Amino acid sequence: MGRARTLLVSAAVVLLGRRKRKPPENADRVVPKLPPNPGAEAVAIGLLFLAALFAVAFVVVYAVDSLPAHTQLLGLTLGLSLLAIAASLIVTAKKLVATEELVEPYTPDEHPGEQELLVQVVEESGDRLTRKRLFKMGLGAAGGTLGLAVLAPALSFGPFFQTKYYRGTPWRRGRRLVDEHFHPVRASDIEENGFYAAFPEGLSLDGREELGAGVVLVRLPVHALRLPPELHGYDAGGIVAYSKICTHAGCAISMYRAPLFQPDEPRPALVCPCHYSTFDPADGGSVTFGPAGRRLPMLPIGVDAKGYLRAKGNFDDEVGPTWWGTRIWKPSP
Amino acid sequence: MVGDPDLEAEPVIRKAVRFLDTRTGTTPIVRKTLRYLFPDHWSFLLGEVALYAFMVLVATGVYLTFFFVDSTHQVVYHGPYAPLAGQHMSEAYRSVLNISTTVKAGLLIRQTHHWAANVFVAAVILHLLRVFFTGAYRKPRELTYWIGVTMLMLALLEAYIGYSMVDDLLSGMGLVIGYSVGLSIPFVGGNLMAWLFHGPFPGQGVFWPRMYILHVFLFPLLIGGLLTAHLLLVAMRHHTQFRRRSSQSEHAVMGVPTWPGQAPRSLGLLFGTAGVLFLLGGLVQINPIWLWGPFHTYASTNGAQPDWYLGWLIGGLRLVPSFDLTIGSYTLVPNPFWGGAAFPLLVFGFLYLWPWIERRFSGDHAFHNLLERPRDNPIRTAIGTGVASWVVLVFIAGASDRATVLLDVPYTGQIDVYRVLVWVLPLVFAAVAYRLCEELQAAERVQRDEHEAEAEARLART
């Protein structure tokens, strides 16, 4: 009780004291004088304590493992704490401090005198130089070459002048085709209207990430094949293998429109889901729709004595997205 | 005994000010800063929101760096998320899975980071539209504008790298598309990509550490530096203003001083932006990478879309008809160049060159502190509307596959229609915008004449 009374008394003293020292109403003030707004002040203070409460709640939620929906509660408590501070500040801005609309001149458009001085300083500094052009050339030569020299080590990033890498693939004549689980693929495993992925045998998981590794396998009725003469013998009894990488933007061909193509589309198609480039598996992978500018490279395959699929060579064309050096193979009409 | 706050508080402030002044000599600058005038119009807050979203990005981003692993080394997942148990994935993807599942508050910070990126880019674009359509970029503020456009470009790249290095299935698909677009640049593309990735995609895993240092250090540093320059330039030349009071002119700026008027508002906006972002990060799911699965070059999924601010580029890539520019049997310009490189270059080229183009044709070399309303300059408004609607239409075309799923409209037919619409509609919109501006101007003239006639009539009566 005694402490409370002391507090009350001192509060009264403080309030009275403030009144006494109140500066006279005059124009000396920088910020205009406005009357107090106890209601708004109470709201602003209340919101700050609310923010503190939510901040404590955030720590509690963080510490208590058994709470379900951790992420939601964490976001809610932290978000509301920040929003309470925001609300308090907005109340302060709108109700508790003076919003003065002041006018002042824009900075001058130009400083002609200063400009002249600057020019003078630069010009006079070079007075002693007699061969300015040569000096400038020297500066340019030194700066330019040094700049290039400093940039040169960036060439270590990778082979800038060698692009032969784009043409290699891990496929060789005689390599068996294996599925995602490293099991060799038999010709009899490949069914019509099915869609299969295969890789060369003996490749590690990292090796499979190479763009030239993956192929798609589909089986078409032999009579439905319309391979151009150059690609004759590329199929293994109706089974055709194409690069899995779209020639447009390098995404994986992961959709086979068969038999769902009817009645909207005339025939089965291999589709890339990125930009819907669509390729015809029956005629050597020609583009039937979408932005791809080049057909899908085809892998020649055959069936060995035990019924396994084997590559008969490398792709007929460059695998992967097209670049400015890609040589195009054009099937004869 | 409780001390008298007035007796104590005043000397403390005075002491602090004197200490600062005697040690740094900056009191005049601080006083000027406290009384610096800020504009009092809502449209000027868009840039501020971008700044505050950037702050949240840096704060949440720093937290994420403590857990992210920038490696494509393949590992087998044995974490708590059962659907991916036993799968092969890169260390990068596994580390982000861990941030999302096992790191306490990790998912909140990750989602808030992603939301903040969305809000950042959105605020920058809205800010750009405000600046463009009111002519705020005119002399003497071209530098501020060019720095702003550069920051937008950097922000798009930064965001793209950010979600690419996670190495989930979607980010991998986006990255290989970016690689292909780079590859399609005539004469240098092949070399450039072999150099960046160390051989053809995915290279030897060297690109992920490279993306990482770009994303967490170089790009934020660049954006932060340009941001500082941008704000300094704004302060040096002061903000532009609409002419709403007679006291506002080309020579006199009106505004609210930093202290006490503007500071609580700006801080309120900072805390408000951060609060909304953390609420979104906690309550609204974004980029649930555990559902996409790990990326492999031989895998892809249907229905994939980039984050919205890159939607115009997927639209561009999808709309270009099937052709590569070739000479004999050699490719010169591969297809992705047009939609993925030429299109954004054209749009950013337009943004960079516009102040110069406008001055060239209008012959207006004067200083401009007063803004124009869109209707005050019909040609600018028409051209801006045309370019903006062009980009938006290509963006919508990029979402055709979603329309196919939702509305059952054949995809091929939609693409054929958009191939025409993206060229025709912008012209229509530009013409409509031009006409609308003229009509609004005419309506204002009529109103002004009526007021004058009434005033004259009143004058005549008296």
Residues 82 through 101 of chain B touching chain A, CB cutoff 8 Å: 88
Q: What are phi and psi of A37, to 5 degrees?
A: -135, 75
Contact list in A for residue B281 (CB cut-off 8 A) is: 75, 79
Which pLDDT score, from 0 to 100, does residue A329 have? 65
Q: How far apart are CA A61 and CA A71, in angstroms?
A: 9
Report which DSSP code applies to B136.
T
For residue A173, is pLDDT > 70? Answer: yes
Average pLDDT, chain B: 94
| pLDDT at site A27 | 64
* Cα within 13 Å of Cα(A309), Cβ side: 34
Name the residue among B307, B291, B288 with its Cα closest to residue B107: B288
Q: What is the pTM of this model?
A: 0.92
DSSP B241: B
* Cα–Cα distance, B152 to B160 (Å, whole number): 12
CB contacts < 8 A (A, B): 323
Least confident of A327-331, B103-107, B299-303: A327-331
Asked if pLDDT for residue B430 goes beyond 70, the answer is yes
Q: Write down the pLDDT at residue B6.
A: 53
**Which of A108-112, A163-167, A256-260, B222-226 has the highest average model confidence (pLDDT)?**
B222-226
Which residues from chain A sit within 8 angstroms of residue B410, using beta carbons?
Answer: 264
Q: Helix %, strand %, coil % for chain B, to 5?
A: 70, 5, 25
- Establish if B404 touches chain A: CB-CB under 8 angstroms: no
Model confidence at A330, in pLDDT bands (50, 70, 90)? low
**Contact flag A109-B304 (C-beta cutoff 8 Å):** no
Whether residues A275 and B237 touch (CB distance < 8 A) is answered with no
Contact predicate B158/B124, CB 8 Å: no
Confidence band (pLDDT; 50, 70, 90) for B121?
very high
3-class secondary structure, B326: strand
B330: helix, coil or strand?
strand
- Nearest by CB to residue A251, choosing from B177, B238, B274, is B177
CB contact under 8 A, A293 and B236: no
Lowest mean pLDDT among A57-71, B102-116, B385-399: A57-71
Please, which residues 369-388 of chain B have a Cβ atom closer than 8 Å to chain A?
369
Q: Is the pLDDT of residue B343 over 80?
A: yes
User: Residue A277: its chain B contacts at CB < 8 A?
Assistant: 322
Q: What residue in B sits closest to A30 (Cα-Cα)?
A: B35
Given a contact cutoff of 8 angstroms between Cβ atoms, the answer to whether B99 and B68 are in contact is: yes
> Across residues A276-301, what is the average pLDDT?
94
Contacts of residue A143, Cβ cutoff 8 Å, sequence gap at least 6 = none
Instruction: State the average pLDDT over residues A174-195.
Output: 95
pLDDT value of residue B246: 86
Digit-coded pLDDT (tens) for B51-84: 999 999 999 999 999 999 999 988 999 999 999 9
Using the beta-carbon criterion (under 8 Å), do B276 and A157 form an inter-chain contact? no
Distances from the Cα of B34 to the Cα of B51, B260, B311, B357, angstroms: 20, 8, 42, 38
Considering only alpha carbons, which residue of chain A is nearest residue B246? A103
**What is the rounded distance in angstroms from the CA atom of residue B184 to the CA atom of residue B316?**
14
* CB < 8 Å to A160, chain B: 191-192, 194-195
Give the CA-trace dihedral at B265, B270, B276, B278, to 10 degrees: -150
> What homologous superfamily does CATH list for A167-311?
Rieske [2Fe-2S] iron-sulphur domain (2.102.10.10)
A194 pLDDT band, cuts 50/70/90, is: very high
In SS3 terms, chain A reads as CHHHHHHHHHHHHHHHHHHHHCCCCCCCCCCCCCCCCHHHHHHHHHHHHHHHHHHHHHHHHHHCCCCCCHHHHHHHHHHHHHHHHHHHHHHHHHHHCCCCCEEEECCCCCCHHHHHHHHHHHHHHCCCCCCHHHHHHHHHHHHHHHHHHHHHHHHHHCCCCCCHHHHCCCCCCCCEEECCCCCECEHHHCCECCCEEEEECCCCHHHHCCCCCCEEEEECCHHHCCCCHHHCCCCECCEEEEECECCCCCCECCEEECCCCCCCCCCCEEECCCCCCEEEHHHCCEEEECCCCCCCCEECEEECCCCEEEECCCCCCCCCCCCCCCECCCCCC
**Chain A residues within an 8 Å CB radius of B187:** 324
Binned at pLDDT 50, 70 and 90, residue A333 comes out as: very low
ipTM: 0.93
Q: Which range has the worst mean pLDDT, A22-36, A118-132, A170-184, B181-195?
A: A22-36
CB contact under 8 Å between B282 and A101, yes or no, is no
β-pairing verdict for A196-200 and A177-178: antiparallel
CATH number of B35-372: 1.20.810.10
Residue A75, Cβ neighbours under 10 Å: how many?
27
Q: Do A248 and B107 touch (CB under 8 A)?
A: no
Check if the beta carbon of residue A301 is closer than 8 Å to that of residue A311: yes
pLDDT band at A328 (very low <50, low <70, confident <90, very high): confident
Q: Where are the alpha helices (H) located in B76-206, listed in sequence order?
A: 91-101, 106-133, 142-164, 169-183, 189-197
Interface check B8 vs A, CB under 8 A: no
B340 vs A contacts (CB less than 8 Å): 249
